[in-house]
Structure formats: C-alpha cells, structure tokens
Amino acid sequence: SSPYLAPAEREAFMLRCKAAGAVPMVAWKSKTSKQIEYKVLEGSE
C-alpha cells in the first residue's frame, strides 16, 4: 500500500476538520515514522 493517504482519504480528512471547525490541515503518513503526521496550513481557501 502507499505510504501516503490517498486523495479520497485526504479529502475526507479535510472535510472532517472543516466539519469540526478546525483550521485546514494536511495529513500524510511519514516515510520514517510510519505514523500519520499533521501540518497546519497558513490561511484558508
């Protein structure tokens, strides 16, 4: 399987964040830690 979240999974994650009133974020699985990491994006679209 891919070490990264699939586009559909990433989109679903974004929608959950927005639904929770959170700031836009990106999630991906780190190649080194094998765990999902989060990074806050500055601003919003």
For the stretch 1-45, pLDDT in tens is: 556 667 888 788 778 777 776 655 455 555 666 655 555 555 554
Specify if 26 maps to a domain.
yes
How far is Cα 3 from Cα 6, in angstroms, rounded to an integer?
A: 9
The whole-number pLDDT of residue 45 equals 46
Specify if 34 maps to a domain.
yes
Copy the structure tokens of residue 31: 């190649």
In the chain, the N- to C-terminal Cα span, in Å, equals 30
Specify if 36 maps to a domain.
yes
Number of structural domains the chain divides into = 1
- For the whole model, what pTM was predicted? 0.37
The whole-number pLDDT of residue 11 equals 82
Specify if 15 maps to a domain.
yes
Specify if 2 maps to a domain.
no
Give CA separation, 23 vs 1, 14, 32, 33, 44, in Å: 28, 9, 26, 24, 8
Copy the structure tokens of residue 29: 């699985």
Specify if 21 maps to a domain.
yes
Residue-number span of the structural domain to which 26 is assigned: 7-40
